[in-house]
Structure 1
Amino acid sequence: MGAIYYGGDILMQSIRWIARHLATATAGRAKWIVYGAMLLLSSLTPGPSAQSSSSTLAPEQILARMEQRYEQQLELLPSYQAHRRYSVTNAVLGDPSYLVVEEQYGALEGKQFRVLERGGSPQVEQRVFSRLLQVEQETARSPAREAVELCRRNYNFTFIQYDPTKGSYVFQVEPRTSNPYLLRGKIWVDGEDYAVRRIEGQPVARQSVFVRQTHFVHEFAKFGDFWLPVRHRSETEVVLLGRATLEINYFDYQWQKRQEAQQ
């Protein structure tokens, strides 16, 4: 999937590394961006299509189906290939920086990335893009994604409404654990497939005195039976730098279902 991640010690070590560098702005202007992206890149892959839907389900039933589909997708999608384009823009940093990569994922092998194209600041590539890819590789090999999963074990969910414009159930999410790297915001659960199709919010903890505020939107789309990430956008207000934007576009997915891969 576009965001199969595993948490645990490696994830926490990576985030602590980010936090330390956020506090030392003199080492590079762009390092703060990594934290906002990691909150999204460390979790949140919805499950495959449900066979039927019901408008009379209680909120707890909707959440149960959401969690079930997530686990099914982990099981049914053992590998995939995709492309991503990362970009960072900020008036102080000058011209936008970008990186295009090819991603190879295998349930046993983890993630591998190959750079296809690059442009802009070498510092942004080194301290933002490269670090994001490194953390993804580390966490994909570690069996501890449970710490940041979007589920009732980690979050309290409050049903808000049914959004007819998106055909989705909208829930408010609040962390129920002491993990400072979870998020606070809203999720949209598809009314037919019970997969998360949109996440909007902000990090629970501010990891640096230089970061005033961060807001993100993370969107998924349906590919065959699976829902995979297609867009991420986060905007952060930073002391001295002003507003900076990180965007990630996911595209060119190719995959096989487990039963197809075994034939």
Structure 2
Amino acid sequence: MREWRVFPLVMCLTMAVAVPVRSQGTTTASPAPKADEIVGRMLEHNRERLAALESYTTERTYRVEYHGTGGEHRAEIAVHAEYTRPDQKHLTIVSESGAKFLCEKVLRKLVQSEEEAVQNSNRQTTISPENYKAELIGEETVAFPDSPNGLKTWVLRVTPRVDNKFTYHGRVWISQDDYAIVRIQGEPAKAPSWWTNRAHFDSRYLRRSGVWLPAQNVSTTHVRIGGEAILTIDYGTYPVVTAHPVVQSAERHNPAALEASLNR
């Protein structure tokens, strides 16, 4: 049971750590920018927005279900999460239920590894020109809580430049108004281990107080000897989020614009 969780863990951590971003009201370019331009703007905005995020508090739920030759097993733990910039994340297990061995060998280890990984994130998973080839395959308006008419997004197909257990093939939805990652669907470029033959993940994000944060990650793994394991992380509603106004690159060299930004 330990092996199949490796890739979902890597992907969950990457998304949680790499993509907290802040809305900036960027207008959509016309005609559509090229894929490399979209990725470049996303990376630039992410650096600025990540710097703006100061702290958050939320209540998470980690849940795993296994159906296969070994029968059906379930486990769940509740976790209190606190983040403080630049890299201090504290995860406290509040309660647990279900199969004891899943709680101890899978969920507890997942929480422990995530807390440690904040300070040791793997750069191979970052969506960047160095790691991935990106292709713009269309536009899509997705349902979104704070957008009555939906959220307009660019849809990119990403292909890793190097296939390994940290990279993935998939699609990425990037918001047109602020170049934030809204959703990622994908599968590992290489099987995480001999124990699995297929794996898939779906990560979604939400906006709180203008800041984008992980909302949910669902990772499904098919085991070679038969069966399926589903790991779901619900990241909660983030009742407490603290972020200061974003200072864009141009504003850093313009005192008047910087002052205006800080007084928004």
| TM-score of the pair, normalised by structure 2 | 0.80
Percent of matched pairs sharing the same residue: 24
Equivalent residues in 2 for 1:1-263, closer than 5 Å = 29-43=1-15, 44-56=18-30, 57-59=32-34, 60-91=36-67, 92-108=70-86, 110-142=88-120, 145-165=122-142, 167-177=152-162, 179-253=164-238, 254-258=240-244
**In structure 2, do the counterparts of structure 1 residues 89 and 221 end up closer, same or farther at CA, with 3 Å as the change threshold?**
same
**In structure 2, do the counterparts of structure 1 residues 147 and 249 end up closer, same or farther at CA, with 3 Å as the change threshold?**
same
**Residues 31, 127 of structure 1: 8 Å contact kept:** no
Residue 256 of structure 1 aligns with an amino acid whose one-letter code is: T
Aligned pairs, number: 231
1:179 to partner: Cα distance: 4.9
**Residues 153, 173 of structure 2: 8 Å contact kept:** yes
**Residues 34, 132 of structure 1: 8 Å contact kept:** no
1:72 to partner: Cα distance: 1.5
Residue 136 of structure 1 aligns with an amino acid whose one-letter code is: E
SS at match of 2:21: coil
1:192 to partner: Cα distance: 1.2
Residue 126 of structure 2 aligns with an amino acid whose one-letter code is: E
Q: Which ranges of structure 2 fall in alignment gaps of 5 or more residues? A: 143-150, 246-264
Q: Which ranges of structure 1 fall in alignment gaps of 5 or more residues? A: 1-28
> Which residue of 1 is the match for residue 249 of structure 2?
none
Instruction: Give me the whole-angstrom Cα distance separating, in 2, the residues matched to 1:46 and 1:162.
Output: 22
**Residues 65, 231 of structure 2: 8 Å contact kept:** yes
**Residues 164, 190 of structure 2: 8 Å contact kept:** no
**In structure 2, do the counterparts of structure 1 residues 50 and 145 end up closer, same or farther at CA, with 3 Å as the change threshold?**
farther
Who wins on radius of gyration, i.e. which is larger?
2
> Which residue of 1 is the match for residue 145 of structure 2?
none
Instruction: Give me the whole-angstrom Cα distance separating, in 2, the residues matched to 1:257 and 1:203.
Output: 33
Q: Which moves more between the two structures, 144-153 or 160-169?
A: 144-153
Residue 109 of structure 2 aligns with an amino acid whose one-letter code is: R
Instruction: Give me the whole-angstrom Cα distance separating, in 2, the residues matched to 1:170 and 1:124.
Output: 36
**Residues 53, 242 of structure 2: 8 Å contact kept:** yes
SS at match of 1:32: helix
Instruction: Give me the whole-angstrom Cα distance separating, in 2, the residues matched to 1:31 and 1:145.
Output: 19
Q: Which moves more between the two structures, 152-161 or 174-183?
A: 174-183
Residue 155 of structure 1 aligns with an amino acid whose one-letter code is: Y
Residue 33 of structure 2 aligns with an amino acid whose one-letter code is: A
Residue 12 of structure 2 aligns with an amino acid whose one-letter code is: L
1:40 to partner: Cα distance: 2.8
1:93 to partner: Cα distance: 5.0
* Aligned CA-pair RMSD: 2.2
Deviations 1:39-81 (A, max 9, x none): 2322441521122222414123322221122111220012211
Residue 200 of structure 1 aligns with an amino acid whose one-letter code is: Q
